[in-house]
Amino acid sequence: MRTSLLILVLLLAHGPAALAAALLKTGDSFPAWTLTDQSGASVSSHDLAGKTYVLWFFPKAMTPGCTAEGRSFRDEAGAFEQKGVTILGVSFDTPADNAAFVKAEGFPFRLLSDQDHKLALAVGAADTPQAPVSHRVSFVVGPDGTVRQVYGTVNPANHAKDVLGDL
């Protein structure tokens, strides 16, 4: 009863955003996830266990800022590969929209669709289930599934270099 009352008070005072998770922090466990890539294949945190990966949440495929950010990762893909780090983009776009984005920009990495917004909500990359787009945030997840680095503020054109500098 007390929990229900607290939720009701939060919703009345702050709306649904009060229930969204805060942005994960360095050292937090990254939640388990399974998403669909641009070709329709499933990709999961289980598939990446034991590997370091970057999940960069971007608002919308084929928009100027997201294109600049994607290009920055594309242009540094070899350096990430040398460090053994997998690059994955995540948006609310459909797999078909992400496939068009990959094709147009020649991205050598997968773009994942979080159409139900569950992962974005769990990690703090979205405030509400109704959010039209995710926040532009990124996470470096270590081989043990913990967050190694959080980027809550991102300069799209330089983001990949910033991440590489921290690896």
Separation of alpha carbons 12 and 159, rounded Å: 37
For residue 155, the enclosing domain spans 22-166
Name the nearest CA neighbour of 75 among 161, 166, 162. 161
In a domain, 138, yes or no: yes
pLDDT value of residue 65: 92
Q: Which of 32, 35, 84, 83 is nearest to 57 (CA)?
A: 35
The answer to whether residue 13 sits within a structural domain is: no
Question: Given the DSSP bridges, would you call strands 52-57 and 137-141 parallel, antiparallel or unpaired?
Answer: antiparallel
**9-32 tens-digit pLDDT:** 333 344 444 445 689 999 999 999
Within-domain flag for 84: yes
> Which among 128, 125, 127 is positioned nearest to 154, based on CA atoms?
125
**Per-residue pLDDT tens digits for 124-140:** 999 989 999 999 999 99
Segment 22-46 shows an average pLDDT of: 95
Q: How many domains does the chain have?
A: 1
Closest by CA to 69, choosing from 136, 134, 149, is 136
pTM of the predicted model, to two decimals?
0.85
Residue at 22: amino acid letter: A
- Within-domain flag for 72: yes
- Give the whole-number percent of the chain exceeding pLDDT 70: 87
Residue 12 lies in a domain: no
Looking up residue 86, the CATH number of its domain turns out to be: 3.40.30.10
Catalytic-role residue among 35, 54, 66, 90: 66
Examine residue 15 and state whether it is found in any structural domain, yes or no.
Answer: no
Question: Is 145 part of any domain?
Answer: yes
Q: Examine residue 14 and state whether it is found in any structural domain, yes or no.
A: no
Please confirm, yes or no, whether 66 is among the known catalytic residues: yes
Give the per-residue pLDDT at 21: 64
